[in-house]
A and B are shown apart, each in its own frame.
Chain A
Amino acid sequence: MSNSTVDLYRYPEELKEEFITTEDINFRDGSKASAEEIWHFMTVEAPVRYPHAFTKSSYYHRQLSRDIHLPSSIKHNYLFLTMKDRIENSRRNGTPVIFVQGGQSVDPYYAAGAIALRPASVGLWASGRHEGNTMVGEEVRRMDEKEKAYRAISFEACQTAGYEHIQEGDLPVDMLAPFTCLRCSDVSYGVEAHRHGKKPVNLFLGDFPLDHQKDKPWAIDYFAHNLHRLTKEIGDMAGHVVTDEALRAEIRLHNAGRRLALDTADAWWSADAPPTNGSDRRAIFQMGGMEMHGDPTASLTVLKEANRYIRERVKRGVKGNGVQDNPGRIFVCGSCVFPNEFRTEEAGGVIVGNDNHWSDISTLVEEEGDPYYNLSKAILSYPYEQDIETRAAWTIQEIRKSRAHGVLFLYNWGCNTQSAIARMLVDIIKRETSLPTLIIEHEFGASQSEQLQNRVNAFVEMVRP
């Protein structure tokens, strides 16, 4: 049967009664989306506007999770599919949108009155502007769009800093202001490429100093200066004066998300039977970064509910939808990529952890005192951004907590930074944990990759108890 024909998944009607009793999503601007509104959108409106999300094929790794009794899963997808509407509404109300890097905190951006979106979120926003696409149509659109960035920069670029959406498309991002050098060598060149783009856009690089940065007072000082400049520039754009207290308040809010994600992870990992599938797990853990939905308050609301459901499932020994009994538990390190969780689960595995976003999520920021200094100190101490041995020590700690049976290191073709450290990191992990490991190169943006999935599945077969 062809997977490219339109054959959509629908949430079963009998779920409605259960779902509409769950909690509302609260938004930063004080508005709410009730469970009933969410249900209506996900069953009536979204399948028409974004049919690709409702694809039945497990080859499409962005498909909806089938864990329909996990309301946070549906709400997370609701937030994803309403990204475009909400972001554009916020912009109309005067909130600027800033492109940031993955794996970084977004506290200062929100404190300055903006919305911060990492590359995948910007891509989601861009995707939301194209309605009616099937899975195949969406993949072709995405690949063709990325080609435009390749032409302007290089085919070897991995991270193109939204060039395809902003310069070659018409996405009205107000500013590009990632923290640079953070795990990704390409992002600063991607931002730089905008200088020769067709459209003027505000550019800023938050200069992340390298080499034992967390131990050098002058490095912390320097990055704190970067943060001052950042909040001032954004504040000026938003017509907003950023006070220290406002930044501290934002830090407290984001710390709440971080703590909750850590608590949720502890619960998830403690269970013998994974309480959710890999796709839901990844989304829930990542909500602690308070970035992925373009609204920290919304992320926190959904995360709170997710935390309760997971704790309950762990207590009752409930397994996530699609996960087999005694799956091979895989921890994924590397670039901002992951295998297709659905196909991995079909092969008997489950992804139990990722290191890249987890590094910033698991780093709490001090809440008293100079917020710029505190943020700088915390950001410069992200485990993922330390020397390889220090990063490995932290990764091993997380691998042990996750009770993984094996470790995959995935890096993008074109990702010089993660590819450079892959072997060393994996060698240390292997030495310290005796776990099987595998390094795989991934073609970023490819719609499907049999070569990649083949390797993942073989690894699952090898490690599965």
Chain B
Amino acid sequence: MSKEKIYAGVDVGSLGTKALLLRGDTIISHGLIRTGIDTEENGRNVLKVALDNAGLQWEDLDYIVATGYGRISAPYANRTVTEITCHGKGAHFLHPKTRTIIDMGGQDCKAIRLDEDGNVNDFAMNDKCAAGTGRFLEVMAATFKVGLEELGPMALRAKEILPVSSTCTVFAESETVSLLARGENPDSIIKGIHHAIANRVAGMFSRVGVESDVFFSGGVAKNVGMKAALEEVLNARIVDPEYDPQLVGALGAAVLAKTYATREANNGANNRS
């Protein structure tokens, strides 16, 4: 019996580097480390973590696809693909009925539309100076002296939205400091912040359209307040993640690793015959 092939996806992001291994169509392990300065080493290290978790060696890997901003320094990869395409495949793997993805990371935000095979057929991403990213939330968490994970529950507790600008993170920070100084309810301000971000995201979706059920990936997907704000503004249902939303890119890369490996093998067979 031939050994089932192992496919690897590596996603080198700005904050976290992720790897995921597939055996056939089954996820067998993953790795997640903080991104350091040496991009190539990050990729290799996280793959090693995933391999160790699966009890495998580097030689067991059949095909590697790298994605994320760090893909430009991934000589270990057979191929590099953008995170947009990878997120499409990863979301489709987990939820085949998904046609819309919101991916919100630290530095950018993506609105992605898929066809029934998980191929990207449209996408939009955030522009500069529109605070619609996870970084905005990090700044606000620091202003409120709470952990990032507390922001979502605070937003859900609030009874009203206090409007906050989302043109510039720095100016928004000034506004929130002023609102707090005036004695406004912190939960309401946080809800206003989530609402502002959701409006920015809705702006992107006005370009590509939204179809329920929506798949929410990236670090910000763990924020329950953000999920609620997006559902309200987009008037769509967001599915509950069954897998760590931070790993969707790496998963998609692994899925594509299998696709490309198969295609190349078929092309090779055709050439030989």
A: residues with CB less than 8 A from B are 1-4, 59, 136-137, 139-140, 143-144, 147, 150-152, 155, 413, 443, 446-451
Contacts and interface: CB of A to CB of B under 8 A. Distances in A.
Given A151-B202, A152-B206, A443 B188 contact: no
Contacts of A155: 127, 130, 200, 203
A143 B163 contact: yes
Given A2-B184, A151-B203, A140 B175 contact: no
B175 A136 contact: no
Contacts of B203: 147, 150-151, 155
B183 A2 contact: yes
A380 to B, nearest CB: 35
Contacts of A151: 202-203, 206
Interface string B176-187: 011100111100
A451 B184 CA distance: 18
Contact of A449 (B171, B182, B195): B171
24 contacts: A4-B162, A59-B182, A136-B160, A136-B162, A137-B160, A139-B163, A140-B161, A140-B192, A143-B163, A143-B199, A147-B202, A147-B203, A151-B206, A152-B206, A155-B130, A155-B203, A443-B165, A447-B163, A448-B179, A449-B165, A449-B171, A450-B174, A450-B177, A451-B175
Nearest to B205: A151
B175 A449 contact: yes
Contact of A1 (B160, B163, B183, B200): B183
B73 interface: no
Interface residues of B, number: 26
Contact of A140 (B130, B163, B185): B163
Determine which residue in B127, B163, B174, B188 has the highest number of CB atoms from chain A within 10 A of its CB, and name it: B163
B160 A144 contact: no
A81 to B, nearest CB: 22
B163 A3 contact: no
Interface string B114-131: 000000000000010010
Contacts, number: 59
Given A147-B202, A155-B127, A450-B177, A136 B167 contact: no
B82 to A, nearest CB: 24
B5 to A, nearest CB: 45
B161 to A, nearest CB: 5
B183 A451 contact: no
Contacts of A451: 171, 174-175
A144 B171 contact: no
Nearest to A413: B167
For the complex of A and B, 3 pairs with smallest distance between CB atoms:
A151-B206, A450-B178, A147-B199
A63 to B, nearest CB: 15
Interface in B111-153: 127, 130
Nearest to A1: B183
Contacts of B127: 155
A395 B247 CA distance: 60
Contacts of A140: 161, 163, 192, 195
B105 to A, nearest CB: 20
Given A4-B160, A151-B206, A448 B178 contact: yes
B182 to A, nearest CB: 6
A3 B182 contact: yes
Contact of A136 (B163, B165, B177): B163
Nearest to B167: A443
Contacts of B195: 140
Interface string B191-233: 0100100011011001000000000000000000000000000
Contacts of A446: 165, 167, 175
B190 to A, nearest CB: 14
A144 B192 CA distance: 11
A144 B184 contact: no
A433 to B, nearest CB: 31
A59 B183 CA distance: 13
A151 B132 CA distance: 14
Contact of B199 (A139, A144, A152, A449): A144
